[in-house]
Amino acid sequence: MSAAASRLTWVEPPYVLDPIGQVRHDHPADVLKDQWHSLTTLIEIRPDLEDGLLEIDGFSHLIVLFWMHRLQEGVRTKLQVQPRGLLRMGLTREDLPTIGVFACDAPPRPNPIGLTVVELLGRDGPTLEVRGLDAYSGTPVLDLKPYTNDRLVPDLKESGWHADLIRKTGARRV
């Protein structure tokens, strides 16, 4: 640990997050789990924050930050997981390594904050229609940001376990 890191001062909780809106859809949990990439969902922004949506409909994609409110408290203490999202790509549990929660995007984590890049399909007042949001109906939305070209990472490096599993599935790289 560096000398600077050992001098960190921690700001004590509680921290207060004020949701800007919530997710609305009628997709059953099993359909959401398997087909979220292609599902259409509404994000209802609080009426008092509607002015913050000015010009958002000029973007094709948004970053959605949300609070995974249905994640059970006991799951939040898990620090190592098998990244089960890769099972949808044809891998088996035996294929999956055990890794730290900060080395993957599995839901279990100390702070259940979800992040997904979605396609913005349209806006009607304070309601956004999006595709590709992996959140339950009623999920609190914490923030929205436009996804822009300056967010692209020029020389992306991945951990070997991830690259190996993607290669094993034959998945296409984007």
Q: Please determine, for residue 1, whether its predicted confidence score (pLDDT) is greater than 70.
A: no
Q: Report the distance separating Cα 113 and Cα 92, nearest Å.
A: 27
Residue 82 C-alpha from the chain's centroid = 17
Asked if residue 112 has a cis previous peptide bond (ω within 30° of 0), the answer is no
Element (H, E) at 6: helix 3-6
Element (H, E) at 24: strand 21-24
pLDDT of 141 reads 98
Q: How many CB atoms lie within 10 A of CB 83?
A: 19
CA 35-40-41 angle, to 5 degrees, is: 110
pLDDT at 125: 98
Q: Answer yes or no: pTM beyond 0.75.
A: yes
Average pLDDT of the residues in 98-122: 91
Residue-range domains of the chain with CATH: 17-148+159-169 (2.40.30.70)
What is the rounded CA–CA span in Å between residue 36 and residue 42?
13
